[in-house]
Structure 1
């Protein structure tokens, strides 16, 4: 049954279920699941950027100390806040992608590496680059104004979630699994919902365009693992979703800082 055939109350309940499912899937925030929440999330990709607003706002709390404390402690507190909110399970996707990037072999061999629980040097390097990149991005936002720092961080988080939603709506899954559960439940037209939800995030630093650049930077960065997976794995999977989320956040924060500095 589509949303167009549901009553307003049922539509609202579906949205709440999708948001609960998104909070549970994308963050470590305590949320009580109900029957149908996972299905609601799969069929409501617009819930992804909604969770981005929530996660970004909580992770940005340490940035309220910008101008009061030195940049180093603020940046470190932001890094800790991010992983306290979103957890580290998406970093597993970064690790698996790192190993798959450096392995020699065909598509099947790369898929095997994604499923392998052994941590290789590619995984270690990939995770280190992403975490260091976020820490340095945090150092950059700690040098902005409070409003600018908070706006950029939230915009980057929303942009990363918008990128994930776009993957679900427009991507092709390589094989059975979490990735396919999302791509099969959404159509290309469904991407309009996440875009509409994410639009307000571009004005978070208004009249400065830093937030808009942060959103666009996060989405653009997600295109990189998406493109690579499509051409070297035959499509996206759960690891690519997780890796894209982490990569998008880092790119969005840096893009916002650069825009604030140059524009």
Structure 2
């Protein structure tokens, strides 16, 4: 009996730490005021779990989209603008900020160190605005073209795919020595990526059958693309680059899903 109690005492802190790490990642990924006291290192251990958190975000954003289009029945072009605004707002603008910083860095000619220095500058340049406008327009147009009756599962899958983009980019990237992004990158490997893909694909299939799985693959392709571009232009990956993979992963997923559903 004493040995059992000792084992329980050992396991409990581990369970508490796991729950705290996952809850911290939810707080980090959204605007929810969970007030979780944890560290980046503790959250980063559960980077592989990010697509499931994307599913939670997708349920909330999808419910909002379903309400606008199927309950209030406002014009879809207006609903698409509101849905996209809600999605980037609920994500806390973290990933959108990364996309804009990434755009500024891509405009720079010079060494990877110089590009990263510009990417980390707090000012927003032409490149950042251009990348935001391009991604926002395509994402908005995809939401405006998706079948209104299926807007909930479409949004759900796209948010899971967005987080699939992050974990994929992290897996195939080399971490910049400085910054919080390195903890998420260093925590990922191909085994964790496979686990993330299985979880994400399961959610995708439950939401939209085979189309949902293909939408998840869109997120994976987005993350792979950004990892490749980052290696060629920056050599290393930072938190801004991971944020970019979120936005590109969502965008590609929405393009693919909408195209399949409308063909």
Q: In 2, distance between residues paired with 1:245 and 1:161?
A: 6
Please state whether the residue corresponding to 2:122 is helix, strand or coil.
coil
Matches of 1:7 and 1:52, distance apart in 2: 31
Q: What is the match of residue 90 of structure 2? A: 85
Which deviates more, 22-31 or 11-20? Answer: 11-20
CA 1:105 to 1:257, structure 2 compared with 1: closer, same or farther past 3 Å?
Answer: same
Greater C-alpha Rg: 2
Which residue of the partner structure matches residue 3 of structure 1? none
CA shift for structure 1 position 117:
2.4
1:19 equivalent in alignment to 2:22? yes
- Listed as ranges, the gaps of 5+ residues in structure 1 are 1-5
Q: TM-score, normalised by structure 1?
A: 0.86
Match status 1:213 vs 2:214? yes
CA distance in 1, matches of 2:110, 2:172: 27
Of residues 243-252 and 191-200 in structure 1, the stretch that sits farther from structure 2 once superposed is 191-200
For residues 239-254 of structure 1, the aligned pairs below 5 Å read 239-254=240-255
> TM-score scaled to structure 2, two decimals?
0.86
Q: Distance in 2 between matches of 1:74 and 1:119?
A: 28
**Which of the residues 28, 33, 39 maps onto 1:30?**
33
Q: CA RMSD in A?
A: 2.2
- Whether contact under 8 Å (1:46, 1:197) holds in the other structure is no
SS of the residue aligned with 1:217? helix
Query: What are the equivalent positions in structure 2 for 1:69-108 lying under 5 Å apart?
Result: 69-108=74-113
State the Cα distance separating 1:58 from its structure 2 match. Answer: 0.8
Distance 1:132 1:161, change over 3 A: same
**Cα displacement (A) at 1:75:** 1.2
Q: Does 1:133 align with 2:138?
A: yes
Which residue of structure 1 aligns with residue 69 of structure 2? 66
- Alignment match of 2:156 (pick from 151, 154, 157): 154
**Alignment of 1:122 onto 2:127:** yes
User: Is contact 2:80-2:143 (8 Å) kept?
Assistant: yes
Cα 1:96–1:45 shift into 2, 3 Å = same
TM-superposed CA distance for 1:11, in Å, is 5.2
- Unaligned 5+ segments in structure 2 are 1-8
What do the CA deviations read for 1:66-95 (whole angstroms, capped 9, x no partner)?
353321232122122212311222222111
> CA offset at residue 206 of structure 1?
4.2
Work out whether residues 155 and 204 of structure 1, in 8 Å CA contact, stay in contact via their aligned partners in 2. no
Give the paired residue count.
252
CA distance in 1, matches of 2:208, 2:123: 46
Residues 223 and 134 of structure 1: CA distance in aligned 2, closer, same or farther (over 3 Å): same
Cα pair 2:41 2:183 within 8 Å, conserved: no
